[in-house]
Structure 1
């Protein structure tokens, strides 16, 4: 099967799909207006087009048509219902699968009537719509009635990169003199890093009252770069906890497993999250999680088995969840092992690739039947 991907080459998720499909035996071609920022399999044919920005999704149509004539794909898989979904619709090639990602469904249609109309138009033109999570599929159904069910094609995790077998010290933590809570995420308001900092400050207050001997062990590790860095540092200063927080900065994705291996507890208090692949990466690394009850996050966590789910924007609950794990460190090991087993059973990358290939094959077969 020869598949053409229309997607942002700057996203690690795009590259994982391209490389994974290529390794599975498909012939893959990737067209993008975004620059390549991760290692792409050399067997993948890659075209970076010079048409940039919102207008670029319209002006690149002619160039995409020429590439299609050249490579003659069996199917197109466009990623993102707003931008590349627009290009795919205007190109007019069938069959094609439109994969929705998150903000294209949760945020973009709410900008205006025109934005909503554009996404609905793109969704209705696809032969199959795919979603990484059930919650995003349900949000898509709110926008439009589709002739076929939305296919669930979750992101997977690379077993070879993230699998870990943790060794705990006598007190039940990874380090003898340190308890590390942290996150690996872009520093954007939507990801609630400010909520993490506030809940961490509240946790310190709780521990001073219940387990004061643990306070000096505690540290918060924030990995990632982004627009909120200075605001977050100011918040830490305001709460008088800047000396307990390490802002690591942006790292390469290949270094994420090493960062996860430093954390006793991973915390994701996102205000919006379509899927949450970082939760799976943490789980495979045998790291228990505390997550907010938003978007696709609760789909990935079994409450009080692989982690703890808390209400969105509720720093009191988040602090209590971290307090529960820290004061009962046997739960950290138990939840971590359970999380790893859960990921291995349901979210390994090979399984995700197999699901996507099945969607592509089914779409091709259904299209041929309709034409016959």
Structure 2
């Protein structure tokens, strides 16, 4: 099979898909207008489109059509329903698979009637649509109810790479942490406030534990200075480590330095909790908000706790519960690891996507024969 991806190579999601699929197909091409951030397998043939986003989603049409005419891939797999989805639709190429990611079916269509109409047109053009979560599949259908083929294809975890490594954890500290971009969507401010509140409560009842508490924030983004300032206001700057952005391959190293993982996202476009599953795979108990697809990847009270969105008090209470109970942390971490191994193994998800490719090719072949 000759497979072409139309997607941003600056996303780890794209990188993981192409690096996995290059093992499954005879030839794989990545058509992109973005620059790489993570290593891509040398067997992937990269075609750099000349115009950058956002204008490139329209101006690259002529160049993309020429590439597709020359390549004649068996399938064109487009990732992201708004920008690249528009460019993919305009090519008129078939068979076409469209993977939705989150903000493309939540935030972008909510901007205006025109934006919603654009995404709906992109979805209708696809021969098959893939969503990483049930909740996002429902959102996608609310935009385009008439989709003939819609599958759930979780973005799973490499359980060998993301696994518990207790030797990385400093037993002198109790570290609460997260791995997220520092933007409003991901509620890092909520985490800071909840951590500070949980620490205050711990000082009153468990001062020996409170003295061990540390907060680790891995990631970078537009809110960095604002969040650093908030940490100072909350008087936790001396026990808060803003690590900055790290390559995805280094994420397990930082997760394994944590004792508790928190994802306090405030928007439903947090459509699938990949980072939460990575933490669970490393044996960490998790605290998440009930935003988007996050509740789908947490068994409440078993692998962690689910708190209401933007609720500092509830988030702090969940953190405190884990801070003061070693046994809960251990048992929830073990249960989280089992959940990932049972449902979200990356290789199984790759094989599921491969099966969809085969179904679509078979269906397209039958249509052409008829």
1:361 and 2:358 correspond: yes
Mark the CA change 1:16 to 1:117 in structure 2 (over 3 Å): closer, same or farther: same
Within 5 Å, give how 1:211-360 maps onto structure 2: 211-272=206-267, 273-360=270-357
Query: What is residue 54 of structure 2 aligned with on the other side?
Result: 54
Which TM-score applies when normalising by structure 1? 0.96
Q: Is the 8 A contact 2:3 2:25 kept in 1?
A: no
Q: Give the paired residue count.
A: 367
Query: What is residue 171 of structure 1 aligned with on the other side?
Result: none
Q: Is the 8 A contact 1:3 1:73 kept in 2?
A: yes
| Deviation for aligned residue 1:364 | 1.6
Q: Is the 8 A contact 2:165 2:256 kept in 1?
A: no
Query: What is residue 68 of structure 2 aligned with on the other side?
Result: 68
Query: What is residue 186 of structure 1 aligned with on the other side?
Result: 181
| Deviation for aligned residue 1:209 | 2.2
Q: What residue ranges of structure 2 are gaps of 5+ in the alignment?
A: none
Q: Which runs of 4+ in 1 moved over 4 A?
A: none
Q: What residue ranges of structure 1 are gaps of 5+ in the alignment?
A: 169-173
Q: Is the 8 A contact 2:141 2:147 kept in 1?
A: no
Mark the CA change 1:56 to 1:128 in structure 2 (over 3 Å): closer, same or farther: same
Distance between the aligned counterparts of 2:171 and 2:283, measured in 1? 18
Distance between the aligned counterparts of 1:277 and 1:176, measured in 2? 27
| Deviation for aligned residue 1:353 | 0.6
1:13 and 2:13 correspond: yes
Q: Is the 8 A contact 1:289 1:306 kept in 2?
A: yes
Secondary structure of 1:259 counterpart = helix
Higher deviation after alignment, 183-192 or 62-71: 62-71
Distance between the aligned counterparts of 2:175 and 2:249, measured in 1? 21
Secondary structure of 1:9 counterpart = coil
Within 5 Å, give how 1:121-136 maps onto structure 2: 121-136=121-136
Alignment RMSD, CA only?
1.3
Higher deviation after alignment, 175-184 or 119-128: 175-184
| Deviation for aligned residue 1:26 | 4.4
Query: What is residue 22 of structure 1 aligned with on the other side?
Result: 22
Q: Is the 8 A contact 1:166 1:286 kept in 2?
A: no
